[in-house]
Amino acid sequence: GQQLNQSPQSMFIQEGEDVSMNCTSSSIFNTWLWYKQEPGEGPVLLIALYKAGELTSNGRLTAQFGITRKDSFLNISASIPSDVGIYFCAGFLSGNTPLVFGKGTRLSVIA
């Protein structure tokens, strides 16, 4: 159906390492969004992608909208302790449907 498959479910990394997570779907999306949720807070928008193939950076974050419009990845370079949280991908399908969310990737950073 309209499900977003997000992987990995969780990650434990050392401070300073790079991180990569991705979302895939069998459906074509018009827009991809990446959110971060810290404990006790609501999700905060990190990056928005609007065009197939688009590569966008926001500080140490880089995200790309897949050419097929069915996937997206998020990379975090040189991770730091404050990167801890749950990262959600989300996307808009064509047609009159609200935003679809992945189940999240839980990131833990070991200092």
Residues that bind another protein (CB under 8 A): 30-31, 33, 35, 40-45, 48, 88, 90, 92, 96, 98-99, 101-104, 106
Q: Report, in Å, the least distance between residue 68 CB and another protein.
A: 20
Q: How far apart are CA 24 and CA 39, in angstroms?
A: 25
Residues β-bridged to residue 21: 74
Nearest C-alpha neighbor of 77 from the set 1, 18, 15: 18
Q: Between residues 32 and 73, which has the closer beta carbon with respect to another protein? A: 32
Q: Between residues 35 and 73, which has the closer beta carbon with respect to another protein? A: 35
Q: How far apart are CA 67 and CA 87, in angstroms?
A: 22
Q: Report, in Å, the least distance between residue 16 CB and another protein.
A: 26
Q: How far apart are CA 18 and CA 33, in angstroms?
A: 20
Q: Between residues 8 and 16, which has the closer beta carbon with respect to another protein? A: 8
Q: Report, in Å, the least distance between residue 66 CB and another protein.
A: 19
